[in-house]
A and B are shown apart, each in its own frame.
Chain A
Amino acid sequence: MSTRIVSISPAFEDLMPNEYKELVENGPYGKDYKVTDLGKYKELIEEHPLCAGCGLALSLRLVLGSLPSPEDTVIVGSTGCSALVFPQVGLHNVHSLFGNQNAVASGIKRALSLRFPDQVKDVVVVAGDGATADIGLDMVMQSWFRREKIATIMLDNEAYANTGGQESGMSMEGTVMNMAPKGKVFPKADLPKVAEASGCAYVAAASPSRPGKLGKVVRRAILIAREVGPTYVQLLSPCPTNFKTKPSDTVVTIKTREKEKSFKQYEYISDDARSFLSALDEGKQSEGKKSEGKQP
C-alpha cells in the first residue's frame, strides 16, 4: 500500500476524527517500528472494548506493534473476544466464522500472491485458543500441511472466554470451569509440538510478560511465513474475568505460571528458517556497513 492512500484530502481535513489524523501523521504505515517503539507513535489499535486487565488485549497491542509491514498486512480473525477488537484496528481484517480462519487466510494469501506477485502481502491469523485448537484445528493443521505461507498466532487465554469461561482444549488439566464441572480431565493440548510435526517452519510460545521477546517471535514468525513456510506463535494471555484474578495481576499470573513450570517460553526454528534468518541478519549487517560507509 502506498502511504499516499491514507492521506487526507485537504477539503476534508477539518472533518476527519483526530485519531485518524494522528494515524496518518504519526502512524506506523511504512515505518519499521518495533515493540520498543510503542508510545512513540500512534498505534494501529484505537482503544479496545475488552475487559480491564485482559491478557489478550495486551498481547494484541504488542502483536500489532511488532508487524514488520503493517501497511501490507491483512489480519484474519475468528469469533471470540479478539473479534471485538478488530473493528478498531487500522488494518484490513476479516472475521468470517468461528474456526475457519486458516482456511480463509489460505484463500486470501493465494489470491494476494496472484494479484501482487512482486509485493509483500503478509497474511496473519490472530485467533483464540478455542478457534485454533478446538473448532478450527483441522483447518489450522491442514494449512500447515499445505505449507501455506501464513503466520498463525494463538491468543491463549485457556478458555472460551467470550461465551462465559468454558473449558477449551488449551485449559489446564483439573481446572473447574463451565462445561468442566468436575475439572478438566485431560491435559492442555501441546499445539507447538503439533505445529512442528505438521510442517511449520517456525514455532514459538511467548507471553506479554516479556514484551521484547514477544515482539521478536511475532516478527520472526511473519518474516519466515513470508519467505519460507507456515509459522505458529502461541501467546499465553490470561483472562482475569473468567479466572477471577485481579485485572492488575495479569502479568503476575503469567510469571507465577512460569515459576510453577506450567508455562515456558519456547522456540523451534527449522533449518530452512534458520538459514533465512541468518541471511536476513547478514543482509542487515551489510546494509548497516554500507550506510556506515556513506557517513562522512
Chain B
Amino acid sequence: MLQQQVRSPEYLFFEAEKKKQFLSGSEAVREAIRKANVDVAISYPITPQSESMHLVGDLFAEGYVKEYFRGENEFAVMSSVAGAAMAGVRVFTATGGPGTMRAFEMFPVWAGSRLPIVCAFLTRGINSPLTIQPDTIEMAFLLETGMLMLHAETAQDLHDMLLKAFIVAEKTDVHLPVGVFADGFFVTHTKEILHIADADSKLPPYDPHCAPVPAMDMESVPVRQMRDPFVMKSNFISYAAHASWQQEIEAAQERSRKHLERYLGGLVETEHEDAEVLLITSGTAVSQSREAMAICRKEGLSVGLVKIKSIRPFPSDELRRLAAGKYAVIVPELNRVGWLAKEIKARVDDPRRVIGAPRVFGGMTMPAHLIVDEIRRVLQ
C-alpha cells in the first residue's frame, strides 16, 4: 500500500497533476475508492456490478479501505451501510438492476436518516424476463427517494463523480446519499484512457460532527426526544413533523446545487447549444448522441447536445433556458419508459417540442444512426 497524504478535495479534484491510465469502468471505481478514504465498504454480487466490488475488496486487503465484508443480499447490505453511516463513518457500496429493486425499501431511509452514503449503481435491466443487459430503467424508480443522482457518461465521469459525491454528500447543508449511476457493461466492462490523480493523495476523513443529525455512538447526549414522541402518533403534530422532515430533505437536495456546480462545473454540459435541434440526454446515450450530432453537422444540419450530469437535483432552469425557442428537443434513452423525456417535458415551456426517442432497451445498443434517423425525421 502506498503511503497516502490527506489533501483537500480542491487539490485532488482541480490542482493535482492528472496522469493517463487505461482502465475499465470497474477499475475506475477502484481508483476512485482508493483515494476516497473509505472506512467501511460492503459488497454483494450482481452482474455487471460485481467486479467493481471485487476490486474494492482488493483495496481492503491492501489497506486502503478499513473494513469490508460481503453481505447477505442487497436489502441487508443497504441496511448495514446505513448502520455504519449512522455510527459516523464513510461508507461505500454498489449494486444494479434487480439488486437495486431488492434493496429499494432502504433508499428513502438513507435520505430520511440524512446519511451521506455513496452508492454506485451500475445499471442493468430488471425482471421479468431475466436479463443481465444494460438498461437505465431502475433510475426511473429512484427519482423520488431523496438521494442525489449523478449519471456518468464514461469511466472518467464515474471516477470523478464518485470522489466528488463523497464531498457533496457530506456537506452539512446537504448530508444526503448520492447515487452515482453508470450504464452497465457499456461503462463497467469497456476500457478507456482516464486522466486521474496519483494514489499518493486521499480525501480528508469523514467528520461525523459535521452531520446535521447526531451519530449513534453514545458520544452525544442521548436525550429522550420527548415524553409524548411524535413518532407514529395520530395527531397533527406528528403529521406536521413528518411533513416538514420530507420538505427539509427536498430543501437539502436543492442546497446541493451550488456544491455540484462548483465540483462538477455545472449540472449540464453543452455543445453547440445555439443549434435548432438539441439532443438532451444522460449516460452513454450522450456519447452516441455526440456521434449523431457530428454526422448531422457534417451534413449541414443544425444540431446541438446537452449532457445532463445531475438527475437529482434536476437542472430545471438550465434546460428551460436551453430548450426555449428550439425547433425540437430529442431525448434518446436506454430504457422503455422514457423517464428522462418525461422529466424534461415537465419543465420546458413547450413540451410538444420534446421528442422522447429513440429508445432502446432489454440490452440493445443505441447506434448513432438511430439518433440520426430521428433527427432527419423531425426536420422533414
Contact = CB atoms under 8 A, between A and B. Distances in A.
Given A90-B222, A103-B71, A112 B87 contact: yes
B81 A107 contact: yes
Given A107-B85, A111-B39, A90 B223 contact: yes
B227 A111 contact: no
A91 B82 contact: no
B361 interface: no
Describe B's contact surface by its main secondary structure. loop
Given A88-B229, A100-B106, A139-B72, A115 B217 contact: yes
Contacts, number: 145
Contact of A5 (B88, B106, B221, B224): B221
Given A87-B225, A87-B231, A96-B113, A115 B87 contact: yes
A176 interface: no
Interface in B209-225: 214, 216-225
B187 interface: no
Given A107-B87, A116-B217, A121-B217, A87 B81 contact: no
B206 to A, nearest CB: 10
B13 interface: no
Nearest to A96: B109
B42 A74 contact: no
B83 interface: yes
Contact of A19 (B216, B224, B232): B224
B50 to A, nearest CB: 19
Given A74-B216, A107-B80, A115 B72 contact: no
A71 B219 CA distance: 9
B365 interface: no
Contacts of B67: 110-111, 113-114
B220 to A, nearest CB: 7
A92 B214 CA distance: 9
A89 interface: yes
B73 interface: yes
Contacts of A94: 83, 86, 216
A189 interface: no
A100 B42 CA distance: 15
Interface string A112-140: 11111000010000000000000000110
Task: Kindly state the interface size class of chain A when it binds its partner.
Answer: 35 or more
Interface string B89-120: 10100000000000001100100010000000
A97 interface: yes
B84 interface: yes
A112 B67 CA distance: 11
B243 interface: no
B226 interface: yes
A6 B219 CA distance: 10
A106 interface: yes
A70 to B, nearest CB: 9
A96 B84 CA distance: 13
Given A87-B225, A114-B40, A107 B79 contact: yes
B76 interface: yes
B84 A108 contact: yes
A47 B225 CA distance: 13
A103 to B, nearest CB: 4
Nearest to B105: A97
A5 B72 contact: no
Contacts of B223: 20, 90
A84 interface: yes
B66 interface: yes
A105 interface: yes
- Interface centre among B79, B221, B229, by most A CB within 10 Å? B79
B69 interface: yes
Contacts of B227: 17, 19, 46-47, 88
B109 A1 contact: no
A216 to B, nearest CB: 24
B224 A46 contact: yes
Contact of B83 (A6, A103, A114): A103
A178 interface: no
Given A84-B231, A111-B89, A112-B87, A100 B39 contact: no
B196 to A, nearest CB: 27
Contacts of A6: 221-222
Contacts of A115: 87-89, 217
B83 A20 contact: no
Contacts of B66: 114
A150 to B, nearest CB: 10
Nearest to A106: B80
Nearest to A113: B67
A242 B342 CA distance: 48
B39 to A, nearest CB: 6
B217 A92 contact: yes
A251 interface: no
Given A46-B227, A87-B225, A92 B216 contact: yes
Contact of B218 (A17, A72, A142): A72
Interface string B123-136: 00000000000000
A153 interface: no
Interface string B16-59: 00000000000000000000000110100000000000000000
B256 to A, nearest CB: 23
Interface of A: 1, 5-6, 17, 19-20, 23, 46-47, 49, 71-74, 76, 83-84, 87-97, 100, 103-116, 121, 138-139, 142, 146
Q: Which 3 A-B pairs have the closest CB atoms?
A: A107-B83, A87-B229, A111-B87
Given A74-B87, A90-B224, 16 more contacts: A1-B219, A20-B224, A92-B222, A93-B216, A97-B105, A97-B109, A103-B77, A103-B80, A104-B83, A105-B83, A107-B81, A107-B91, A112-B87, A113-B67, A114-B66, A116-B217
14 contacts: A1-B218, A19-B227, A20-B223, A47-B227, A74-B218, A76-B83, A87-B226, A89-B224, A97-B109, A103-B80, A106-B83, A110-B80, A111-B83, A121-B217
Interface of B: 39-40, 42, 66-67, 69, 71-73, 75-77, 79-89, 91, 105-106, 109, 113, 214, 216-229, 231-232
